[in-house]
């Protein structure tokens, strides 16, 4: 008996010493491929003398970057080959040295964005939320540290583990300063992706440190998120190639790393399942896009930018069937690719939570359909948003009606809120039309081949700006007829003569949006207009 226990312990430590062969090899093939390819790419960016990754942005004069370094350090622990663990500990120690340590400051417990930056709040480096400091990085780095402790505690020295726990204590305390609407912060429970991470980090860290207060705070915050979710079985921040991916990451952590007495353990799988049910309806496997509307998007075509959902699709469907190209780091928004090692490690557990049949639904287009849902994002939403999306073989139309206190959705961003989106296959690539938000309210009616837009609070000064894709067949667009692959018929009470301009990398009237060049078709109201502005677009594939 004793010998066999010893033998077992011996084998275990042997396995651990050779963790590189075992841990990564134990991942299922898609996850393993994603892990290996992303790490190989990041290896080129690693500056061992600094103990940080260089910033992926080629235009950063060899500065470094904190968040991707944390993700890479996690990957090094999983790989555990050669000096990997020593490098990981070096990176982690550096990142924690650069964590803000003064409890009197709003950015307490947050992490520097780059080791080169001046001290936040110093005379020539004013504190600016989402500028000189990004409060969400507590969550991004904190969740990574927790995964490192959960998965690779046996590789970390006691000193590093202790440091990580102290770092998490401070990150949690600093995160508790965040109150939506106070000090310029926007962390409401409805801001789904960081709020899910915040509840998790607080709940986990509190338990680990035996700090009941922290545990209770995490649970209470999670309950607020759950209550909001339960209104319509949707996340407040709904349908985003990037942020649905973060929320699914956070919900996986809720489901995996907390004990049974946590509300997060109880609701995480249910929320994750409902979110995937919506994704399965909206994902178009042939067009390789999640149809609109998008609450927050970092591009107009998922085939051209790296989205976090694409990483989940890679783990479930394989790389070819995801929206990534062979070399994802060439795509726009590629810095998110650095998250891949964490997604890879979670992949098998994550897929065990999916509702039955999800992968099948995601794998091939299951025919024309209409999806509808509601979502609610207080305090910005004055009423639930009503989402309606029609999908057909080569054309999708999705839009949401909203009534809000701001322009640009819950993130008050005109360039990422896309409340009405049309996508089609133009023979060569995915083409798109997206309504650029300029109003606080929209009433949108979607029908097969039709998008009918009304501004209930609009007036004679209202405009309808349509961001329209460029196309290879006809690079110089002068009228609707030049837009390829679709006939567009316009009606409504707008002045039928529209303005047309170009937003380009090298010229035109405006700058690109999230790297995408586009044509700006803008409709105004006729002189002396009275009434409710309306624009109706009808589409026929040609
Ligand atoms: C590290 O911590 C563990 C458990 O907390 C303890 O058993 C072990 O002796 C420690 N190792 C060293 C080298 O201090
Ligand atoms: C945590 O915060 C305290 C102040 O509350 C500070 O003294 C300490 O250095 C911080 N620890 C780390 C690891 O940053
Ligand atoms: C417990 O949490 C509350 C609310 O976040 C806070 O006001 C209080 O100071 C905390 N107490 C301790 C002992 O940390
Ligand atoms: C969404 O529909 C509900 C009725 O189901 C309605 O009460 C609400 O006002 C609508 N929201 C918007 C923004 O139009
Ligand atoms: C579009 O909506 C407007 C305003 O509700 C309505 O008057 C018009 O008939 C609708 N157009 C179509 C084609 O349904
Ligand atoms: C239309 O509404 C906007 C915003 O409320 C206002 O600034 C503008 O003056 C109005 N224009 C007209 C012509 O009433
Ligand atoms: C689109 O064009 C209109 C009319 O020229 C202009 O007012 C608006 O700022 C442009 N929008 C964008 C996003 O470039
Ligand atoms: C419609 O717009 C055109 C071009 O700006 C303008 O010449 C014309 O007067 C407008 N018509 C009305 C009815 O406002």
**pLDDT at residue 276 tops 90:** yes
Label residue 122 exposed, middle or buried (CB < 10 Å: 0-12, 13-18, 19+). Answer: exposed
- 444 Cβ closer than 6 Å to some ligand 4 atom: no
Torsion of CA 245, 248, 254, 260, to 10 degrees: -170
For atom 14 of ligand 7, which residue has the closest CA?
510
Cα gap 170→147, rounded to integer Å: 17
Cα gap 243→299, rounded to integer Å: 12
Q: Are 422 and 451 in contact (CB under 8 A)?
A: yes
Q: Distances in Å between the alpha carbon of 119 and those of 62, 103, 124?
A: 19, 15, 9
Cα gap 279→275, rounded to integer Å: 6
The CA 457 to ligand 6 mean position distance, Å, reads 10
For atom 8 of ligand 2, which residue has the closest CA?
101
User: In this predicted structure, what is the pLDDT of residue 226?
Assistant: 98
Domain boundaries, the chain: 2-187+276-362, 367-541
- 452 Cβ closer than 6 Å to some ligand 5 atom: yes
Q: Distances in Å between the alpha carbon of 59 and those of 40, 65, 118, 511?
A: 21, 13, 19, 18
- 536 Cβ closer than 6 Å to some ligand 5 atom: yes
Cα gap 242→194, rounded to integer Å: 13
**pLDDT at residue 9 tops 80:** no
**pLDDT at residue 142 tops 70:** yes
- 445 Cβ closer than 6 Å to some ligand 4 atom: no
**pLDDT at residue 397 tops 90:** yes
**pLDDT at residue 301 tops 60:** yes
Give the residue-averaged pLDDT of 15-37: 82
- 461 Cβ closer than 6 Å to some ligand 6 atom: yes
**pLDDT at residue 5 tops 80:** no
The tokens of 474 are what?
């006809």
Percent of residues, the chain, with pLDDT higher than 90 = 95
pLDDT tens for 151-185 read 999 999 999 999 999 999 999 999 999 999 999 99
User: In this predicted structure, what is the pLDDT of residue 18?
Assistant: 47
Atom of ligand 4 at shortest distance to CA of 384?
Answer: 11
Give the residue-averaged pLDDT of 364-383: 98
Q: What is the mean pLDDT of the chain?
A: 96
- 403 Cβ closer than 6 Å to some ligand 4 atom: yes
Atom of ligand 7 at shortest distance to CA of 520?
Answer: 1
pLDDT tens for 497-522 read 999 999 999 999 999 999 999 999 99
Label residue 212 exposed, middle or buried (CB < 10 Å: 0-12, 13-18, 19+). Answer: exposed
**pLDDT at residue 197 tops 70:** yes
For atom 10 of ligand 7, which residue has the closest CA?
520
Cα–Cα nearest to 274, from 232, 323, 221: 232
Cα gap 504→509, rounded to integer Å: 8
User: In this predicted structure, what is the pLDDT of residue 13?
Assistant: 46
Give the residue-averaged pLDDT of 39-58: 97
**pLDDT at residue 188 tops 60:** yes
User: In this predicted structure, what is the pLDDT of residue 221?
Assistant: 98
- 388 Cβ closer than 6 Å to some ligand 4 atom: no
Residue 443: nearest ligand to its CA?
Answer: 4
The CA 458 to ligand 6 mean position distance, Å, reads 8
Q: Distances in Å between the alpha carbon of 535 and those of 432, 472, 538?
A: 17, 27, 10
Per DSSP, helices labelled H in 154-262 are: 158-175, 192-209, 212-232, 243-256
For atom 9 of ligand 2, which residue has the closest CA?
101
Label residue 72 exposed, middle or buried (CB < 10 Å: 0-12, 13-18, 19+). Answer: buried
Give helix 29-43 / helix 66-79 axis angle, nearest 10°: 120
Give the residue-averaged pLDDT of 90-113: 98
**pLDDT at residue 4 tops 50:** no
pLDDT tens for 412-457 read 999 999 999 999 999 999 999 999 999 999 999 999 999 999 999 9
The CA 138 to ligand 1 mean position distance, Å, reads 28
The CA 288 to ligand 7 mean position distance, Å, reads 29
The CA 268 to ligand 4 mean position distance, Å, reads 27
Mutational pocket test of ligand 5: of 397, 534, 539, the residue with most ligand atoms within 8 Å of the beta carbon: 534
Mutational pocket test of ligand 2: of 102, 170, 209, 214, the residue with most ligand atoms within 8 Å of the beta carbon: 170
Binning pLDDT at 50, 70 and 90, where does residue 21 land?
A: low
For atom 14 of ligand 8, which residue has the closest CA?
526
Cα gap 471→203, rounded to integer Å: 49
Order the strands of the 46-47 sheet from edge to edge. 46-47, 52-54, 64-65
Top-level class of domain 2-187+276-362: mainly alpha
User: In this predicted structure, what is the pLDDT of residue 279?
Assistant: 98
Cα–Cα nearest to 101, from 113, 112, 93, 116: 112
Say which range, 17-21, 271-275, 373-377, has the weakest mean pLDDT. Answer: 17-21
The CA 520 to ligand 7 mean position distance, Å, reads 6
For atom 7 of ligand 7, which residue has the closest CA?
522
Atom of ligand 4 at shortest distance to CA of 386?
Answer: 1
Atom of ligand 6 at shortest distance to CA of 459?
Answer: 1
Mutational pocket test of ligand 7: of 509, 513, 514, 519, the residue with most ligand atoms within 8 Å of the beta carbon: 509
3-state SS class at 126: coil
Mutational pocket test of ligand 3: of 175, 209, 213, the residue with most ligand atoms within 8 Å of the beta carbon: 213
The CA 474 to ligand 6 mean position distance, Å, reads 37
Q: Are 98 and 111 in contact (CB under 8 A)?
A: yes
Q: Are 109 and 198 in contact (CB under 8 A)?
A: no
3-state SS class at 53: strand
Report residues whose beta carbon is within 6 angstroms of any ligand 3 atom. Answer: 176, 213, 217
The CA 461 to ligand 6 mean position distance, Å, reads 6
Q: Distances in Å between the alpha carbon of 467 and those of 431, 433, 513, 538?
A: 11, 5, 9, 16
Q: Distances in Å between the alpha carbon of 55 and those of 59, 90, 334, 514?
A: 9, 17, 11, 18
């Amino acid at each position: 008996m004793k010998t066999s226990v010893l033998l077992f312990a011996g084998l275990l430590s042997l396995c651990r010493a050779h963790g590189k062969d075992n841990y990564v090899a134990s991942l299922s093939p898609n996850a393993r491929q994603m892990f290996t390819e992303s790490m190989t790419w990041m290896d080129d960016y690693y500056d061992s003398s600094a103990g940080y990754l260089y910033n992926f942005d080629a235009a950063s004069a060899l500065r470094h970057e904190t968040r991707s370094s944390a993700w890479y350090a996690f990957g090094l622990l999983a790989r555990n080959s050669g000096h990997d663990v020593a490098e990981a500990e070096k990176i982690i120690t550096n990142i924690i040295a650069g964590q803000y340590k003064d409890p009197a400051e709003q950015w307490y417990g947050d992490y520097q964005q780059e080791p080169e930056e001046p001290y936040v709040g110093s005379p020539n480096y004013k504190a600016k939320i989402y500028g000189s400091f990004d409060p969400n990085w507590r969550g991004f780095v904190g969740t990574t540290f927790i995964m490192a402790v959960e998965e690779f505690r046996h590789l970390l020295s006691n000193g590093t583990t202790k440091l990580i726990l102290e770092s998490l204590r401070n990150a949690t305390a600093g995160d508790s300063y965040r109150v939506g609407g106070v000090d310029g912060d926007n962390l409401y429970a409805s801001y789904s992706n960081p709020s899910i991470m915040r509840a998790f980090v607080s709940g986990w860290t509190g338990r680990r440190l035996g700090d009941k207060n922290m545990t209770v705070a995490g649970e209470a915050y999670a309950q607020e998120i759950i209550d909001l979710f339960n209104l319509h079985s949707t996340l407040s921040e709904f349908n985003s190639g990037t942020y649905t991916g973060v929320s699914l990451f956070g919900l996986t952590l809720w489901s995996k790393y907390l004990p049974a007495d946590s509300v997060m353990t109880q609701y995480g799988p249910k929320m994750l399942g409902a979110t995937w049910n919506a994704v399965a309806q909206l994902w178009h496997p042939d067009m390789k896009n999640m149809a609109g509307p998008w609450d927050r998007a970092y591009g107009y075509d998922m085939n051209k930018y790296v989205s976090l959902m694409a990483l989940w699709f890679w783990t479930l469907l394989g790389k070819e069937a995801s929206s990534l190209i062979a070399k994802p780091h060439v795509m726009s928004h590629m810095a998110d690719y650095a998250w891949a090692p964490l997604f890879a490690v979670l992949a098998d557990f994550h897929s065990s939570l999916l509702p039955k049949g999800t992968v099948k639904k995601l794998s091939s287009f299951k025919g024309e359909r209409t999806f509808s849902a509601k979502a609610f994002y207080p305090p910005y939403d004055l009423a639930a948003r009503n989402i309606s999306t029609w999908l057909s073989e080569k054309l999708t139309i999705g839009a949401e009606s909203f009534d809000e206190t701001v322009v640009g959705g819950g993130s008050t961003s005109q360039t990422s809120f896309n409340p009405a989106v049309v996508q089609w296959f133009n023979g060569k690539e995915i083409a798109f039309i997206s309504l650029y938000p300029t109003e606080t309210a929209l009433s949108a009616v979607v029908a097969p081949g039709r998008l009918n837009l009304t501004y209930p609070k609009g007036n004679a000064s209202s405009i309808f700006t349509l961001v329209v894709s460029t196309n290879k067949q006809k690079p110089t667009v002068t009228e609707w007829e030049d837009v390829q692959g679709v006939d567009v018929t316009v009606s409504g009470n707008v002045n039928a003569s529209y303005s047309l301009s170009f937003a380009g990398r090298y010229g035109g009237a405006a700058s690109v949006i999230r790297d995408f060049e586009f044509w700006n078709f803008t409709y105004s109201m006729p002189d002396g207009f009275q009434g409710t502005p309306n624009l109706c677009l009808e589409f026929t594939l040609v």
